[in-house]
Structure 1
Amino acid sequence: MYQVGDNIVYPMQGVGVIQSMEEKEILGKKEQYFIIVFPVNDMQLMIPESKISTSGVRFVADSPAMDNVLTIFKNGERDTSLSWKQRYKTNMDKMKTGNLQDGAEVVRDLMLVNKEKALNPSEKQMLEKARKFLVSELQFIKGISNNQAAELLNTAL
């Protein structure tokens, strides 16, 4: 399914590249591992081949999918009936899916809340992380700089 050189998105980490596949022995068990490098976080992650399908890893979206998400981002509405605790749980669940649209909704909703009132520290941190992931995928898909992607996102709302 995935191969060395594939560009992927890993939930809660963002855009990465499968750098290699290596056989590793961990706790006495030999298994193939995907070695994924995340340039945005300057991080490397190993995922066992047997767990890749349940890990939430997905291929980076294409440009039409991103354009669709940006349209939803611009025109969607947030649920104002939720308390901050409910909103936090809902947003955390969305971020864990790794789904592009879910991540964009988290960014949009928290940016809108932030325009009305200051976010609490937990939500502020969540917004920064979700925004970073969305910007990194937008940057990758559109072939633009990080600053250009951030500006495009700001103008979309």
Structure 2
Amino acid sequence: MHGMSMFRTTQKGTVTDAMARTAAAATAAEAKSSKAVKDEDPFREGDAIVYAAHGVGRVDRIGVDEIAGTKLEMIQISFPGNQMTLRIPLSKARKSGLRKIVSREIVDKAMAIIKGKPHVSRGMWARRAVAYQEKINSGDLVQIAEVLRDLRRNVDSLDGSFSERKLFEAAQERFVAEVAVLEGKEPTEVLEKLTEVMKAA
């Protein structure tokens, strides 16, 4: 018959709801099984944290929310630097790259790396750039320090490219933000000290 569609449309929201229920059920099951493993250093509201993909943030709230009919314990994090808020199932927080601010020992180790001799690679810049970006996105302060060590000389010379400078600045921003929280200082003060260390290296 003319003017009539031969295709039947699915009920609106059916697939989305089913997917949400499945995901929520899987997360709930994982949360239940993970309760047997005690977190020796649990997250608490007000904690300063680092989320691998976004840098330094703060825990705003930890509580139970209902998602697709399933109650899950969620952790809400805000990132003042980019005005973003995230909610993650608490049971998956650490696996997703969430961690607390590093210790003084880790900062000292990172500073020692920055003072070290840059690792020179003759490989294609595109591949090295990807490797540097992965280190920055890891959220690992030691790996971020390696990026600063390897790029610090080029960004201060005519040999440095625009992309090198952008990677260096991204690594520097991540490093300074976390150390500033640990030491209770202003980022500008930490940056000044870091700059002095790199110039003296």
Task: Point out the more displaced range, 41-50 or 139-148.
Answer: 41-50
TM-score (norm 2): 0.69
Q: Which has the larger radius of gyration?
A: 2
Q: Residues 135-146 of structure 1: matches in 2 within 5 Å?
A: 135-146=176-187
1:120 paired residue number: 162
Secondary structure class of the residue paired with 2:161 = coil
**Take 2:51 and 2:87, find their aligned partners in 1: how far apart are those partners?**
11
Secondary structure class of the residue paired with 1:35 = strand
Paired residues of 1:23 and 1:32 also in contact (CA < 8 A): yes
In proportion to residue count, which structure has more strand? 1
1:10 paired residue number: 51
- Which blocks of at least 5 consecutive residues in structure 1 are unaligned? none
Paired residues of 2:136 and 2:170 also in contact (CA < 8 A): no
2:32 paired residue number: none
Whether 1:33 aligns to 2:74 is: yes
**Take 1:25 and 1:76, find their aligned partners in 2: how far apart are those partners?**
52
- Which blocks of at least 5 consecutive residues in structure 2 are unaligned? 1-41
**Take 1:28 and 1:113, find their aligned partners in 2: how far apart are those partners?**
54
Q: What per-residue deviation string (whole Å, max 9, x for no partner) do you get for residues 90-125 of structure 1?
A: 11221232111001112232322323423234x433
CA-based RMSD: 2.0
Identity among equivalent pairs (%): 30
Match of 2:194, as an amino acid?
L
Q: CA deviation at 1:153?
A: 1.2
Match of 1:93, as an amino acid?
E
